[in-house]
A and B are shown apart, each in its own frame.
Chain A
Amino acid sequence: MHELAVTQNILEIALRHAAQASAKRIVGIDLTVGQFSSIVDDSIQFYWDMISEGTIARGAALRFNRVPAAMVCEDCGRGYRPDDETFGCPACGGDHVKIVSGTEFRVDSIEVD
């Protein structure tokens, strides 16, 4: 569980960009988090409510854009979502696959006034 460290980083990034834009208040933060980034949304929100207190980001809405894992088979070109038990290509059984999404872990934008 490293959600506290993650939440502190989100706050630091949001405050820095808000200051650059001379914003008075941060009302929302958009995050993209891939399935392979093991993060619990509820814990982030819990820490957020504590550590954003006393900053211009207090009460800002955290919006999580959850991205499922997606893979593409480099042998047959099939795109698919891996299940929990096997990652190989469901069409040809191949192992040469590329992970095309699911590893995202970023702040996309902040909404300010």
Chain B
Amino acid sequence: MGEMTVRIPVVENILSANDRMAALNRERLDGAGVLAINFMASPGAGKTSVILKTLEALNGRLRMGVVEGDLATSIDAEKAAAAGLPAVQINTGGGCHLDAAMLAEALPALPLSDLDLLIIENVGNLVCPANFRLGTHLDVLIASVPEGDDKPYKYPGMYRGAHALLINKIDLLPYVPFRMDYFRRGVEILNPGVEIFPVSCRTGEGIARWTDWLVGRARAGRRQP
């Protein structure tokens, strides 16, 4: 401390402005009765494949919209719109994550009241998106077998915050040294009781269990006042 200086207590979370904006997004989503999912994963885990499988499986069961935040995706908003789904693209300008303000700007472009489920594809990254809450009801992490079984230990922030975890590419388990017990133990310690869905987008294994769970969540959400 220098001379004549005064210390003022602050005690404020560094990302509190984002958290406030996320709370506003949540109010808006709840007001429209739509369940929103934030999909996060490292690049190459199969985020886009999982989303496409999910859209395919739930087509006709739920009314869905898409917010596309990953510029590296192959689901561009135009393609989704051509398939009859309301879609909006967020240009993150090369940024490493979506934040709540970006989602707040995107929401007015969607007919939220006509939707049951809003799917948001975040930027492929296991660090930054964990810190920036969007206000979504479900933060879903997609891991994949080839990434290795040590990921929960290396990226605890991401594994701690997820409401559901998909383990993609389980068709590769016979070919990759992936200790499922070791992986799941790390997840369980960081995030006890989190829903885990082992899936393969290639063979379709496990997809039905995941999408049935999601339908249950979307319907439960709509029954709430």
Which residues of A are in contact with B by a Cβ distance under 8 Å? 1-2, 5-6, 9-10, 12-14, 17-18, 21, 23, 27-28, 31, 36-38, 69, 84-88, 95-97, 99, 103, 105-113
In Å, the complex CA distance between A9 and B21 comes to: 13
- Asked if residues A2 and B8 are in contact (CB atoms below 8 Å), the reply is no
> Given A38-B157, A112-B5, are A95 and B10 neighbors across the interface (CB < 8 Å)?
no
CB distance from A21 to the nearest CB of B (A): 5
In Å, the complex CA distance between A95 and B15 comes to: 30
In Å, the complex CA distance between A28 and B2 comes to: 10
Total interface residues on B, CB under 8 Å, equals 38
Residues of B within 8 A of A113 (CB): 2, 4-6
* Interface secondary structure of A, over-half rule: mixed
Residues of A within 8 A of B185 (CB): 87-88, 95
> Given A105-B15, A107-B10, are A87 and B150 neighbors across the interface (CB < 8 Å)?
no
In Å, the complex CA distance between A10 and B185 comes to: 35
Which residues of B are in contact with A by a Cβ distance under 8 Å? 1-2, 4-18, 95-97, 99, 127-128, 131-132, 150, 152-154, 156-157, 160, 185-186, 188-190, 192
In Å, the complex CA distance between A112 and B7 comes to: 6
In Å, the complex CA distance between A95 and B182 comes to: 11
In Å, the complex CA distance between A10 and B17 comes to: 10
Residues of A within 8 A of B10 (CB): 13-14, 17, 106-110
Among B2, B9, B15, B150: residue with most chain A CB under 10 A = B15
CB distance from B9 to the nearest CB of A (A): 5
- Asked if residues B99 and A111 are in contact (CB atoms below 8 Å), the reply is no
Some 14 contacts from A to B, beta carbons below 8 A apart, are: A6-B14, A9-B14, A31-B14, A36-B160, A84-B154, A87-B153, A87-B156, A87-B190, A107-B10, A107-B14, A110-B8, A111-B8, A112-B5, A112-B6
In Å, the complex CA distance between A88 and B128 comes to: 25
Closest 6 CB pairs of A and B: A2-B128, A87-B189, A113-B5, A107-B10, A38-B127, A111-B5
Q: Which of chain B's residues has its CB closest to A89's CB? A: B189
In Å, the complex CA distance between A9 and B185 comes to: 35
Q: Which of chain B's residues has its CB closest to A14's CB? A: B10
> Given A1-B128, A105-B131, are A85 and B150 neighbors across the interface (CB < 8 Å)?
yes
CB distance from A98 to the nearest CB of B (A): 9
- Asked if residues A6 and B11 are in contact (CB atoms below 8 Å), the reply is no
Among B5, B17, B185: residue with most chain A CB under 10 A = B5
